[in-house]
Structures are given as C-alpha cells and as structure tokens.
Amino acid sequence: MASSSSSSSCSSSSEKKITLKSSDGEALNVEKNVALEFEPAKGFLEDNSEEADDEAIVVPLPNVSAAVLSELIPYVKQRLELSAKPVQKKLIKAFDDQFTRHLSDDKLGELMLAANYLGVNYLLDVLCDVTADRIKNKSVEYVREFLGIQNDFTPEEEAELRAQCPWAFEGVDQD
C-alpha cells in the first residue's frame, strides 16, 4: 500500500514541498509523498488539485501538535524509503522497533491518537502492538498503577468479576 503510492511518483513528487499546519499553528514543510500518507492531507490535496502551485497550499491538521508531527514526519519518510526498496520485512521490523523502543508511555499515546487521526495504519498497528506488549501478562493492579487509571469498580463488583474466572489471575508476572 505504502510502496504503490510512493514508487510511482517518487522521483518527481519528492521534490515538491507541501506545508502542514499543526494544531498549535506551526507550519511544517514536508515532501508531497510524505503528506500523501496522511489521509486528511491527501483528501485536502485532492480537493484543491486545481491549484497550480503546490507550494501555495497549506494543509490544516487541527488534531495534531507540531511536536508530534515532527516525530511522525521523519518516521513516515524513512518508512517510505524502506518500503520503496525490495527490502526484507525484518529490516522494516527492526526500523519500527528502533522507533518505538525509547518512546515514553505518554508519547506512545499521543502518537497513537495522531496515527489514528491521520490514517497511518502501519504505524498504528506497530504502536498498538507495543502498548499491548507493555501490559502483557501483568496483574490488574500493575496495569492500573502503570497507566494511572482510576479503579471505578466497587469492591463487591470486583470480587464478583474475579469469582467468575479465578484462573485468569494466576501466573501473571510479579510486579
């Protein structure tokens, strides 16, 4: 999916720059093929395709901050370059791992929301997988503490739910 959109028009469009405007009003210049990976930007560019000069187009992205965008853009750009070549899946995976390894939990959440809004599905999959990995095989208490989630069950409700499936809470990792 990513490779088909990029490889056909790679040489000509990668020269062209598009301006993205973030939620906090910052303008970021990106290559057109990168911008086309973002669904809202793609739609906007299609609607304004009669505009002769691409440079003049400013695409508003009111749900993404500049900080998040400036992390997303290099990722998408490199990912596009990778998938344009006939590289092994291993390399892409290694690249994804490298990108996600050092992300804080807050950043992970912000990126996930942005990837969801921008329709970058390959990134969304990777991020969701990483988030799931961080709570895999953990106890209920650990997950609540780790993510700072308020327990809104009453003790009775929780006891009842636990009694329904006592085997589900054995053998999880020690915190």
Partner 1 sequence: MEDEEKINSERSTKRFKSKTMKNNSFIAPINNLDDGCLMHVFSFLSPIPDRYNTALVCHRWNYLACHPRLWLRVDQSVKDLSEPGVFPDLKTAVSVARFVMSVEVSFLMKQLSSVLEVRTGRYNKSSHKMNNCDVLLVALFQDLVIYFKVELFYTKPLPLDLVIQKYEVGSSKMTGIISQATKFAMQYFVFSNKICYFYTKPQK
Chain positions contacting partner 1, by CB under 8 A: 104-106, 109-110, 112-113, 116, 124-125, 128-129, 131-133, 135-140, 143-153, 158, 160-172
Looking at the Cβ atoms of 86 and 148, the one nearer to partner 1 is 148
Looking at the Cβ atoms of 56 and 163, the one nearer to partner 1 is 163
Residue 52: left if φ>0, alpha if ψ -120 to 50, beta else—which one? Answer: alpha
3-state secondary structure 49-108: CCCCCHHHCEEECCCCCHHHHHHHHHHHHHHHHHHHCCCCHHHHHHHHHHHHHCCCHHHH
The one-letter amino acid at 3 = S
Looking at the Cβ atoms of 10 and 143, the one nearer to partner 1 is 143
Measured from the CB of residue 60, what is the shortest distance to partner 1 in angstroms?
21
Looking at the Cβ atoms of 51 and 133, the one nearer to partner 1 is 133
Measured from the CB of residue 139, what is the shortest distance to partner 1 in angstroms?
6
Measured from the CB of residue 67, what is the shortest distance to partner 1 in angstroms?
12
Percentages of the chain per state (helix, strand, coil), in multiples of 5: 65, 5, 30
* 3-state SS, residue 136: coil
Measured from the CB of residue 71, what is the shortest distance to partner 1 in angstroms?
16
